[in-house]
A and B are shown apart, each in its own frame.
Chain A
Amino acid sequence: MILQLDFIFILFVIICAIAALAVKDILSAVIILGAYSYFMCLLWTEMGAVDVAFTEASVSAGIGTVLMIAAVSKTTRRSKD
């Protein structure tokens, strides 16, 4: 439970969230969301919620990224706006 480490991880989480919104390529946004999930998992682990961190790592960073890549492969990769 190190407070400085918490702030470093939450900073990375915010950076990843803003980058995923700002980037034009949807495939890149999906990969950045995977990184977001990974930093969120590190944050949960650091705050002592290991079970939640395990769920975040397996479901959000693992299957969620794969499902969104599958959705991108069936639609367009380039964002309109």
Chain B
Amino acid sequence: MWPEYTEQSDNFGGKNKMIRVTDDVIIKTIARVLTPFIQVYALYVIMHGHHSPGGGFQGGVILAASLILLLITHGWAETKKKFSETKTAVFCAVGVLIYTGIGVLCIFMGGNFLDYGKLGGLLMVIPPEARSLGILGVEIGVGITVMAVMFSIFFDTSTGGNSPEDETTSSLR
């Protein structure tokens, strides 16, 4: 059921105190069961951000928390399949691109920066509904960036800036 734990399956070789594969089956099972529920709740918070408490920032932080839970229970080798360092950098940029893209699109439609009402002609809805959809798009962009940045901050803090691949090849230098 579980992937066999070997020294090679965890790139840190069990030396890192935060990022490692735990031996406890209870912690592993709880983390595995809880992670999808945390992510669904985070998506709910992002999607309902414009008419209830919450929004892109809080939802992104909760999404990052689910990824961090996966990282501290299942190790870096298992998490890398789902959210690698390359993906982190790409998601950081994509979120800002969504935010700025919506803002600049409003300028092209003849309004000010982030003037969502002007998007009504493009989305074929009335301006009040276009404002609602526009701020939803901005919230999604904010959520993606916050998730990637929070995950990146945690990863860099707990590894001290050294990439796991550097630590395994450091004996060659």
Contacts and interface: CB of A to CB of B under 8 A. Distances in A.
Interface string B152-170: 0110011010000000000
Interface residues of A, number: 16
Interface stretch (B62-70, B75-83, B86-94, B118-126): B62-70
B62 A62 contact: yes
B109 interface: no
Interface in A40-71: 50-51, 53-55, 58-59, 62-63, 66-67, 69-71
Interface residues on B, range: 10 to 19
A74 B157 contact: yes
Contact of A70 (B54, B55, B157): B157
Interface of B: 16-18, 53-55, 57-58, 61-62, 64-65, 68, 150, 153-154, 157-158, 160
Interface of A: 50-51, 53-55, 58-59, 62-63, 66-67, 69-71, 73-74
